[in-house]
Amino acid sequence: MTDLLYMSWRYVAYHWMKSVILVAAIALIVFIPAGLRVLVHQGEIQLRARAQATPLLLGSRDSPLELALNALYFSADRPETMDFSATSDITASGLADAIPVYVRFRSQGDPIVGTTIDYFPFRGLELAAGRQMATLGECVVGAAVAADRGLAPGDHVISSPATFFDLAGVYPLKMRVAGVLASSDSPDDHAIFVDLKTAWIIEGLGHGHQDLAQAGAGAEILRRDGSNIVGNAAVREYQEITPDNIGSFHFHRDMATLPITAVIAVPPDRKSRTLLLGRYQSDQRRQLLSPIEVVDTLLATVFSVENVVVAALAAVGFATLALVVLVFMLSLRLRRGEIATMSRIGGSRARIASILGMEMAGVLVMALVTAGVLTLATGQLAPEVVRMVLSR
């Protein structure tokens, strides 16, 4: 057996280029459908787990998929906003607890999630370090964000401007990290959580600036109209909320009209859930949906696409296998002289056949091992890949 393996190995090693191509071709035939299956399966697990843990979602009457992906996985595709008053509407109905979510801004690609502290016990999130966000300008970062950036309580993160060229638009806000969440193997690990008011300040809906009523102000004042003071462009706006300037932050609009992207509704029982769903059925502006139903619809599409892709891959795989068989047959033909020599010296038929067979078996085994390793690696990387795809 050792001699057979050795002879086969010598052949494979000598013709390494041919062997590598064969191994790669066969490995890809096996790996692509297997890896795709693993990826889809992992995606299904992640999508369904998150959706099942979210009873109902209220959002603007827009794309249900966009709403679910944004509220659950913090995807960059932003649904239409609705007024914050939608939260109090649900609370006032007495049919469910309401947790508002506003996902619009990012910090170095990580989503900034504006919400209330009710979100954390709802998702079962616990602090690994520091404390909850307590004041304006504070944030709590997910475990992966903290690990990737080396963040700890007391550090700062800065929101990314909405657009580099919008000089009059949203300016970055420097936020202090109050706490770091323990890992939950969910999209929350990759998010930065802030209070809703902080999120609105990032958007410029609330702001803080130097007090023009103070004696020092002069050049920044455009005009005075009784108690009203109108400042000019030289008025200094704060890009960081500190204990010294926190008092100057204010909103010029009724907070009930400020935007949010979704409300997570948590009804206490099935009856409340049914009643609540019925209540929003005829709402022209908003929709209340069950995330698991949206995700199942999405998965049904994914599975049908996957089946088409697998069928196409099967055809390609068959063609590739036919080529591999052809290569083996040509290889046997090229080795006719070697086979004849071994026969003439007195090598047994079984041994000679085994040497040739082992070469093919060796290539197949190497290809299958390669495909197995790649599939396992895909299984390990799949959660991250799925998360990246969903959060885009």
Partner 1 sequence: MTPPSQTQQSDAMIRITGLRFRYRGSDFRLHVPDLEIDRGASVAFTGPSGSGKTTLVNLIAGICTPGDGRITVDGVDVHALGDSARRRFRIRNLGLVFQEFELIEYLDVLDNILLPYRIASELKLDPSIRRRAVELADTVAIGDKLRRFVRRLSHGERQRVALCRALLTRPGLVLADEPTGNLDPANKLHVLDLLFDCAREAGATLVVITHDHDLLHRFDRVVDFRQFHDTPEASPA
The footprint of partner 1 (CB under 8 A) covers 3-4, 6-7, 10-11, 13-15, 337-338, 340-349, 351-352, 355
What minimum distance in Å lies between the beta carbon of 349 and partner 1?
7
Nearest to partner 1 of 233, 345 (CB atom): 345
What minimum distance in Å lies between the beta carbon of 340 and partner 1?
8
CB 254 within 8 A of CB 187: no
Nearest to partner 1 of 215, 345 (CB atom): 345
CB 348 within 8 A of CB 356: no
Nearest to partner 1 of 242, 348 (CB atom): 348
- Other beta carbons within 10 angstroms of residue 296's beta carbon come to 15
What minimum distance in Å lies between the beta carbon of 334 and partner 1?
10
**Structure letter (DSSP) for residue 43:** H
What minimum distance in Å lies between the beta carbon of 351 and partner 1?
5
What minimum distance in Å lies between the beta carbon of 152 and partner 1?
58
Nearest to partner 1 of 28, 355 (CB atom): 355
Nearest to partner 1 of 18, 78 (CB atom): 18
- Other beta carbons within 10 angstroms of residue 305's beta carbon come to 11
CB 226 within 8 A of CB 49: no
What minimum distance in Å lies between the beta carbon of 344 and partner 1?
5
In single-letter form, the type of residue at position 6 comes to: Y
Nearest to partner 1 of 7, 177 (CB atom): 7
**Structure letter (DSSP) for residue 58:** E
Q: Is the dihedral of CA 101, 102, 107, 110 positive or negative?
A: positive
CB 171 within 8 A of CB 115: no
Nearest to partner 1 of 201, 366 (CB atom): 366
Write out the two tokens for 366: 């190497």
Instruction: Select from 37, 73, 116 the least CA-distant residue to 391.
Output: 73
Residue pointed to by tokens 């790996």: 31
What minimum distance in Å lies between the beta carbon of 14 and partner 1?
3
Q: What is the CA radius of gyration of the chain?
A: 31
- Burial classification of residue 232, based on how many CB atoms lie within 10 Å of its CB (0-12 exposed, 13-18 middle, 19 or more buried): exposed
Pairing of strands 156-158, 127-130: unpaired
What minimum distance in Å lies between the beta carbon of 160 and partner 1?
59
What minimum distance in Å lies between the beta carbon of 328 and partner 1?
16
Nearest to partner 1 of 2, 228 (CB atom): 2
d(CA 53, CA 123): 8
Nearest to partner 1 of 52, 341 (CB atom): 341
Instruction: Select from 114, 108, 169 the least CA-distant residue to 139.
Output: 114
CB 292 within 8 A of CB 118: no
**Sequential DSSP letters for 96-126:** -EEEEEEEEEEETTEEEEEE-TTHHHHHT--
